[in-house]
Structure 1
Amino acid sequence: MDVTTARSAREVLGSEFTINKLPIKNRIVLGPMSVLRPTEDGRPSAQTIAFFKRRAAGGVGLIIVGGSVATERAWRESPFSPNLRFDKDEFVADLKRLTDAVHEYDTPVFAQLFPSFGRMGVPRDGHQISAASPKPVNLGVAGLPDHVYVPGGRITPPPHEATVAEIKGIEADVVAAARRAKAAGFDGLEIGAHMCYFYSSFLSPLANQRTDEYGGSAENRARALRDAVAAVRAEVGPDFPIGVRMSVNDHMPGGQGPEGWAEVAAHIVPGGVDYIALSDGNYESLRENLPTPSGNMLAHGEPQAFRKAVGDGVRLFLSSTPDPQQAATAIAAGHADATMLARQLLADPDYPTKVVEGRESEIVWCDQANSCMRRLMLNVPVHCHKNPEMGREDPHAKQANLGQNLAVWAAGNPVLMGLADKAARLATKRKR
């Protein structure tokens, strides 16, 4: 990369912008991830706080806290555990410790409010999972990310069709979680409506087969999320930043592309949305959600479609675009307002400072080997093989044992996973 190009990326990504009235010092956002290792009962641990302090020290402009739940339902049905909890007042004081620690670096921090796992939920203790319609997820049917395997494939249990009372009950729980997030010192919040989770199941005809006021037209499919946004806005006031995390393309037959998703977004924004965090694909098209090349989202025209649909007043966050110049060019062209990174900020928490200071040659690049993803799938403490510090930011954090590390290695070995896949499919065939 020549000096002129590096200066251009430095200038654009290092510039300040605002969300609602909140100033953000640069355009590099830490996206929400389930790598936080909270306590077993759902409070931020010393490792949780150390992880975020290290990313704040690395110069990121905004932190979005994920791996969290906004409702008791989500806590109960989560495929992985534990999660940070926003569903009870008793957790507010501990969440305040997290925000106070991040604010020591003058870095804003937002809470992701996660209402329900929807189609990806796990039925437990006699409780049902629910979504817009009773449609299961065929995990990775359109392809899995590099170095990620699901031997024999997996189809999730079908959810039951959410009743109107359930929809409104989840909305009320999200509003209560928003109140707790604000009380805990968070500077803003976003509602998770991506992948195959609860609100996402309403937004696309791929998962929404309803015939009532929550199904059919784009306006109807947007209704549940728009109403939740409006209810949260009424709770937190006009100046508190609110975002939504939305899928932008199903990449599946029977689903919708970027124009369809953008049309739905245009119906949600009037509820009080300040930004949209763009998320490509879903669990059925997981390869698109965790791509190896940088900038697939731009190549698919997804931010461009959303910008056309929602206008310049709504901030848009790119995902999966770690190439600084690529992200800067898109932002300068008006396609987006910030670049939101996850895996890259595990590999190098100092990426923001290096970009802003024009030291891109020093960046430790994520190689998309996805060992972090395999660890999450196996419920093993997450580390990054490119960054030995990751997962050990707190020196007393519990570490993976030898057996767990071997399992992670085996889960990424194509030969072993090929054999496991054949065995799983043969066993399934024998059962029929």
Structure 2
Amino acid sequence: MTNISMNTSNAAKVLASPLQINGSQIKNRIILGPMAVLRPTEDGRPSEQTIAFLKRRAQGGVGLVIVGGSVCSERAWNESPFSPNLRFDKDAFVDDLKRVSDAVHECGAAVFAQLFPSFGRMGVPRNGQWILAASPKPVNLGAGGLPNHLYIPGGRITPVPHEASIQEIKDIEASVVAGARRAKASGFDGVEIGAHMCYFYSSFLSPLANQRTDEYGGSVANRARALRDVVAAVRAEVGPDYPVGVRMSVNDHMPDGQGPEGYAEVAAHIAEVGLDFISLSEGNYESMRDNVPSTSGNMLNHGGPQAFRKALGSGVLLFLSSTPDPRQAAAAIWDGDVDASMLARQMLADPDYAVKVIEGREAEIVWCDHANSCLRRLILNAPVACHKNPEMGREDPKAKRSSPVQNLGVWVAGNNVLMGVADKLVRATQKK
């Protein structure tokens, strides 16, 4: 492309340009990424707060809303480390889910559903059901470093998962296909299969987590097989024109882990069966400092999108994450490295980010300060809020607030002095 000066005006033009994702026309290239902040009802239906939160971001000008904090299997519902989740695993919830898609459409945005069948290595064993992954390898949470303002005394290692049998892999695949059918019936414009972080499908993609010796382990083609098969099955279910994508990591950021080129090679195998887009995710729970960065554009600096573009060409759209600087994101789109900018925490701080960027009002943006109080709230299963945006979490006036005890826990979890004392106490106890 011809070089241009990526000033505020040109960045606005690039990000305001429409994007075609298979059969869906997206009005601009700013996407609300999926987050577990929707506060559905206790039985997993969208609440008034769920709808109010999503509507507010759609009203703020995003072209696409990807709905997360959701599950498409009873397994995922049972083993989730946070609750409740939005459910795509029951036909009885289709009418409720249609309220979500209708609300977003009324505000002029498209809406995709994230299909999430298992929390894999991050799951919690419950109700006599153990967690599953490609291999029996736990997660050393934050082994590669934690994000700013997050402290875990004594660290944390998750339970050792069972190695998923071939039948269990196929059962999980079937739940994703059924979830895709329900999403389409509920009026969602597309689906995204979760295969990122340390969740079930991601455990197959890198040799760091996949130590299998059967047809699902070893070679690149074998490590891609589980995700490739479920993409093919979903494509067969929803038809050729319906957008189907995956969310996957681009870099382990761990010793002996897989880098961008390795992940891109895996993605190339999956793309062959009808993949429309990939939502790029940096790092995982073992490298949380890279997964939840405090500066804009780390993924670009580490070369992830560039490696995926080289391996996939222009036939698969790429969504860039964690790049709230609009000029930086627009330059990556203009250069052809990615096709859209997908944001999460920044959209909590300022639901009008998109319209401000597109109208050239960058000076008015309320910027996320990466204090990560939202993340601490999620980990503590407290209603998620944002200290930069008092409206966040209260879009519906009747939405439940966090308790004083929960607020104290969130504050303590972000205080390095207090958590340092707790860490010493934990380690002293472990030595006894």
TM-score normalised over the length of structure 2: 0.98
Distance in 2 between residues matched to 1:213 and 1:404, nearest whole Å: 46
Tell me: CA distance 1:424–1:222, structure 2 relative to 1, closer, same or farther (3 Å): same
Structure 1, unaligned runs of 5 or more: none
2:59 is aligned to 57
Match of 1:223 among 207, 217, 225: 225
How far did residue 330 of structure 1 move? 0.6
8 A contact 2:349–2:368 mirrored in 1: yes
How far did residue 115 of structure 1 move? 1.1
1:259 is aligned to 261
Amino acid at match of 2:326: P
1:253-301 per-residue CA deviation (whole Å, 9 max, x = no partner) reads 1210000000000000112110000000000001100000100000000
Distance in 1 between residues matched to 2:274 and 2:74, nearest whole Å: 25
1:15 is aligned to 17
1:131-156 per-residue CA deviation (whole Å, 9 max, x = no partner) reads 00000000000000000111100000
How far did residue 407 of structure 1 move? 1.2
Distance in 1 between residues matched to 2:407 and 2:6, nearest whole Å: 43
2:350 is aligned to 348
2:110 is aligned to 108
1:232 is aligned to 234
Counterpart mapping for 1:94-243 below 5 A: 94-243=96-245
**Matched positions, count:** 428
Match of 1:414 among 396, 413, 416: 416
- Secondary structure (helix, strand or coil) at the match of 1:228 reads helix
2:278 is aligned to 276
Amino acid at match of 2:264: A
Distance in 1 between residues matched to 2:125 and 2:89, nearest whole Å: 19
- Secondary structure (helix, strand or coil) at the match of 1:276 reads strand
1:369 is aligned to 371
8 A contact 2:322–2:342 mirrored in 1: yes
1:283-327 per-residue CA deviation (whole Å, 9 max, x = no partner) reads 000110000010000000000000001110110000000000000
Amino acid at match of 1:412: G
Distance in 2 between residues matched to 1:50 and 1:188, nearest whole Å: 21
- Secondary structure (helix, strand or coil) at the match of 1:271 reads coil
1:316 is aligned to 318
8 A contact 2:113–2:190 mirrored in 1: yes
How far did residue 373 of structure 1 move? 0.1
Distance in 1 between residues matched to 2:10 and 2:356, nearest whole Å: 14
2:340 is aligned to 338
How far did residue 216 of structure 1 move? 0.3
CA RMSD of aligned residues (A): 0.8
Amino acid at match of 1:119: R
1:62-98 per-residue CA deviation (whole Å, 9 max, x = no partner) reads 0000000011000000000000000111111100011
How far did residue 105 of structure 1 move? 1.2
How far did residue 402 of structure 1 move? 1.5
1:393-429 per-residue CA deviation (whole Å, 9 max, x = no partner) reads 0000000121211111111011101111111111112
Amino acid at match of 1:287: R
Amino acid at match of 2:220: A
8 A contact 2:248–2:281 mirrored in 1: yes
- Secondary structure (helix, strand or coil) at the match of 2:245 reads strand
Amino acid at match of 1:8: N
1:305-362 per-residue CA deviation (whole Å, 9 max, x = no partner) reads 0000111011000000000000000110000000000000000000000000000000
How far did residue 31 of structure 1 move? 0.3
1:32 is aligned to 34
1:386 equivalent in alignment to 2:388: yes
How far did residue 4 of structure 1 move? 6.8
Distance in 1 between residues matched to 2:290 and 2:117, nearest whole Å: 24
TM-score normalised over the length of structure 1: 0.98
Distance in 1 between residues matched to 2:255 and 2:220, nearest whole Å: 18
Distance in 2 between residues matched to 1:4 and 1:208, nearest whole Å: 42
Distance in 2 between residues matched to 1:211 and 1:126, nearest whole Å: 28
**Percent identity over paired residues:** 75
8 A contact 2:231–2:273 mirrored in 1: yes
How far did residue 249 of structure 1 move? 0.2
Distance in 2 between residues matched to 1:423 and 1:66, nearest whole Å: 36
Match of 2:300 among 294, 298, 301: 298
How far did residue 126 of structure 1 move? 1.3
Distance in 1 between residues matched to 2:398 and 2:71, nearest whole Å: 25
More displaced 10-residue stretch of structure 1: 12-21 or 358-367: 12-21
